[in-house]
Structure 1
Amino acid sequence: MDEFETIRPYADAEVPTVMARLFADREFLDILARFRFPRLAGTFGWLLKPLIAQRLRSEFAGIHSVDTLQARIEMYLDRTIERATDGITYSGLDRLQQGCAYLLMANHRDIVMDPAFVNYAVFQAKLRTPRIAIGDNLLQRPFVSDLMRLNKSFIVRRSITARREKLAAYQQLSAYINHSIRNDGESIWIAQAEGRAKDGDDRTDTAILKMLHMSRKDEPFADALSALRPTPVSISYEYDPCDQAKARELYIRDTTGSYTKAPGEDDASIALGITGYKGRVHINFGTPITQVPEDPKQLAAEIDRQILCDYRLFPVHYLAYAMWDQRDPELAIPGLSELFDKEEIARAEGEWSRRLGACPSEYRPYLIKQYATPVRNQYRLKAGLPL
C-alpha cells in the first residue's frame, strides 16, 4: 500500500472514477443547483440535478489526467477573477525555474482563493502547479475531499487530538512534503501558519518549519530545509470579502474568551471568499531561500521579512491605519497623496466608508485592525525595527 494513500492528491489513473463518483453525488449536485439556480433549486431541484449531472459529464468528458482537468478549470477561474476582482497582478515569477520544485510558504487570508491565485499564476507562467496543503477540518463531506484531491490537494490531519496519533500524522505529512519536492519534483503550497490571519498579522509559525524536519532527523535542520527551497509568497487583497465575519469572530473571542463555529460556517466562508468582491489582488513570489539558518526562528524571520515587505499596500490599508488606535509613533507613514492619485484615493474612501457603515460599531476596531496591521508590519521592517 502507498504510505501516503490516505493524504495524497489523486493520481491521473484515479481521475475518471472520482469524477464519475462526484457527478453521482446528490449533495454535490444539490449545492451546484442552489448556487447556479438559487430561485429554482427549491421547487425544481429534482429536475435540475440530473440536468446538471448530464451537463458536467458532457463538459468534462475525455478528461483523464489532473493536468487536463486543471486546464479546464482555468476557464472557471478566469470568470471568477473577472466577476470578483478588479484585476490580478503578479511579480517574482521569474525567480522560479522550470523543472525545479519549491516549498511555497504563503501568508493566508482566504481558504480557497489563496492557493487558487498562486496556482493560476504558476499555470499562466507554464510552470508545474504546486500540490496544496488543506486541513481535514474543511473536508467533512466526501465530495469536498474528492474535489480538493482532484485539484492536487493533500490532507493535513488537524482534527486529531491524541498526542501519539498527532505525532504520527505530522511525521507522515513531513515525509510526504519532502518526498513530493525531493523525489517527485512537485512543488508544495502551504500556509505559513495554521488558519487564516484574521487580524491581518502575517507571521510564520516555527512549529511548521520543525514539522518539515521531522522526517529528516538524520540531516541538520539547515540542510534538510535548504533541499526544499523555501520560497515566501505574499498574497495581497485590496478588500477581503470575509472581513466582516472575521471582525465578528475576533470580537467574540476577545469578549468571551472563545469562539465556536456554527454548522456550515466554513462552507459560507469558502463561498463568500470565492464570489465576494476583492478589488485588486497582487501575488509576489519571493526569493527562494538557499542558505537556510540552523535556527528555525531565524528562518521564520526571513520568511516574514519577505512576505511583509513584499505585501502590496493599497489605499484602504493607509485609510485604516490612520484610524487605528494602535498606530506606532516611531513610524513615519507617508500621506495618501504622496502614494496614490486623487481618483484612486476617492474610490478607496467610498468603499472603505461603505464597509465601515456596514460593520456594527463593536466589531469596527477589529475591521480596522485587519487592514491597518500590514502597514505597521511593513514600515517597522523597513525602518529596521523589530515586529
Structure 2
Amino acid sequence: MSSFVDKYADIRPYNDEEVPAALSRLLEDNDFIDVIAKHNAPGWLNKWPFIARPLVRSQLRKKWGNIVTVEQVQQEVAGYLELLIKRTTSEVTFSGLEKLDKSTSYLFISNHRDIALDPAIMNWGLHSHNMQTVRIAIGDNLLQVPYINELMRLNKSFIVKRSVKAPKEMLKALSQLSAYIYDSLDTGNSIWIAQKEGRAKDGVDQTDPALLKMLQLQGRRLKLPFEDYVKQLKIVPVSISYQYEPCAVAKAKELVHKKAHGEYVKAEGEDIESIIEGMRSDKGHVHVSFGSPITQECDTPEALAASIDKQIISQYHLHSSNYIAGGQEESVSSELKSEFQTRLESIPSELHQQILAMYAEPLKRKGEFV
C-alpha cells in the first residue's frame, strides 16, 4: 500500500483490495440482513429470521459474487439509485453540468436537505453525464452501526470525525480531513461536502465559515494565502431542491420540539430511520443545479461563504411547493395546489406553520438576493 493510503486509513473509503472482505462482513451481519429482509422479503417471512436470513444471504451472495472493485460497487449502487428515482420522484433534472470540465476534479459544496440522497442524486447527474462520481464526506455520528459504516465506505464515503471534542484531538482530526480533501482533489478525485454540519431543517441554506476554515488548514501548511488556496480547490457550489422535502414531518417535529423545550435529543437509530425514510418517501420533482467554479478573490472564510451562498440561493430551482407556501401561487396549476393541500392536511395541524415556513424560505431568500 502507498503512504497516501496509510496516512488516511482510518477515514478514507475502501479501496479495491478491501471490497471482498467488506462485502463478506456485510453478509455475516445479522442486523444488515434483517434490514434487507424487512424491506424486500414478504412480510410473513420476517417473523421467521432463521428462514429469512439464509434466503437473503443466498440471494446477496449470487448478486455480489463477482463484485471485487469499487467501480463495480458504484455500478451496483447506480442500479439501485435508478430504481429509487423511478419509484419515488416524478422526475430528476440537472443544470450547469455543461460548464464543468470532465477531466477536472472539483470540490462540490452543496446545500443539505437529505442525509444520503443529496450526494447520491448529485452523483447520479455526474454518472449520467459520463463524469466521475465524487468522494462523499459523512459524519462519524452516522457510522455507529457497523453495516452503515461498511456500506458508506464501500460507496466512496470518507469520515468526518465529529465526535472528537478535545481541542488538540479536534485540530488533529480537522487537519487530517483538510489534507485528505486536498490530496483527493490533487489526485483527480472530486469531493462532495455539505455547506454546514447537519441538514437545513428550516429551509435556510447557509454556508458555515468554520467548514471553510477547516479547508484552509492544509493551505496554511502549504503556506498559501487563503484566496490562492481557494482557487486551487476549484469549489463548485451546488443547489439541490426537492418539490416535497424528504423527512419534512420529522424535521418540523424537531424544530417545534426545540422551540417548546429548548433542545431536541435524537433517539437511538433516528438517523438511520431518516436515511430510510428519505429514500422511500415521494419527493416529486428533484432538481440539482451545478454552479460555476469560484474564481473571484475571496480573502476570508466569511467572504467565500457569502460567494457560495449567492450561487446556491440564486440557482436554487423553485418548485410549486415553494410558491404555494410563499403565497405566490398565481402560476401554480390547480392540480398542484390540490396535491400540496392534500399533503398538508395529512400532517398534524400543529406542524403546519413550520412546514409552510420550511417551503417558503427558499423563495424568501431568493428575493433577498435579487
TM-score by length of 1: 0.92
CA distance in structure 2 between the partners assigned to 1:292 and 1:347 by the alignment: 46
- Once the two structures are superposed, the pairs formed by residues 205-354 of structure 1 within 5 Å of their partners are 205-217=208-220, 218-322=223-327, 335-337=328-330, 339-340=331-332, 345-354=333-342
CA 1:43–1:211 in structure 2 vs 1: closer, same or farther (change >3 Å)?
Answer: same
Deviation at 1:98, TM superposition (A): 1.7
Q: Counterparts of 1:52 and 1:288 in 2: how far apart (Å)? A: 45
Flag the 1:48–1:42 CA change in 2: closer, same or farther, 3 A: closer
Take 1:357 and 1:98, find their aligned partners in 2: how far apart are those partners?
Answer: 45
CA contact (8 A) 2:113 2:246 kept: no
CA distance in structure 2 between the aligned counterparts of 1:172 and 1:197, rounded to whole angstroms: 26
Query: 76-85 vs 43-52, which deviates more?
Result: 43-52
Residues 97/360 of structure 1: CA separation in 2 closer, same or farther (3 Å cut)? same
Counterpart contact for 2:107–2:191, Cα < 8 Å: yes
What is the root-mean-square deviation in Å for CA atoms of aligned residues? 1.3
Verify: 1:97 aligned to 2:101, yes or no: yes
Equivalent AA in structure 2 for residue 193 of structure 1: K
Tell me the secondary structure at the aligned position of residue 192 of structure 2.
strand
Give 1:1-387 correspondences, 5 Å limit: 2-37=6-41, 39-182=43-186, 184-217=187-220, 218-322=223-327, 335-337=328-330, 339-340=331-332, 345-382=333-370
State the AA in 2 paired with 1:312.
H
The count of residues paired between Structure 1 and Structure 2 equals: 364
> CA deviation digits over 1:137-177, x for unaligned, max 9?
11111111010000000000111121211111111111110
Show the counterpart of 1:325.
Answer: none
> In the aligned structure 2, how far is the partner of 1:359 from the partner of 1:63?
43
CA contact (8 A) 2:114 2:246 kept: no
Gaps of 5+ in 2: none
Q: Deviations over 1:229-253 (max 9, x none)?
A: 0000000100013111111100011
Bigger Cα displacement from structure 2, 28-37 vs 39-48: 39-48
**Poorly superposed stretches of 4+, deviation over 3 Å:** none
- TM-score, with structure 2 as normaliser: 0.96
1:117-153 deviation line (CA, Å, top 9, x unaligned): 0111111111110100000111111111010000000
| CA deviation after TM superposition for structure 1 residue 42, in Å | 3.5
How far the C-alpha of 1:291 sits from its partner, in A, is: 2.8
The question of whether the paired residues in 1 share the 8 Å contact of 2:287 and 2:317 is answered with yes
Compute the displacement of 1:41 (Å). Answer: 4.2
Q: Cα distance, 1:72 vs. partner? A: 2.0
Letter in 2 for 1:144: I
C-alpha deviation, 1:271, in angstroms:
0.6
Distance in structure 2 (CA, Å) of the matches to 1:153 and 1:347: 40
Q: Which amino acid aligns with 2:269?
A: G
Q: What is the CA-CA distance between 1:13 and the residue it aligns to?
A: 1.2
Cα offset for 1:61? Answer: 1.8
Separation in 2, partners of 1:13, 1:96:
31
Corresponding letter in the other structure for 1:233:
V
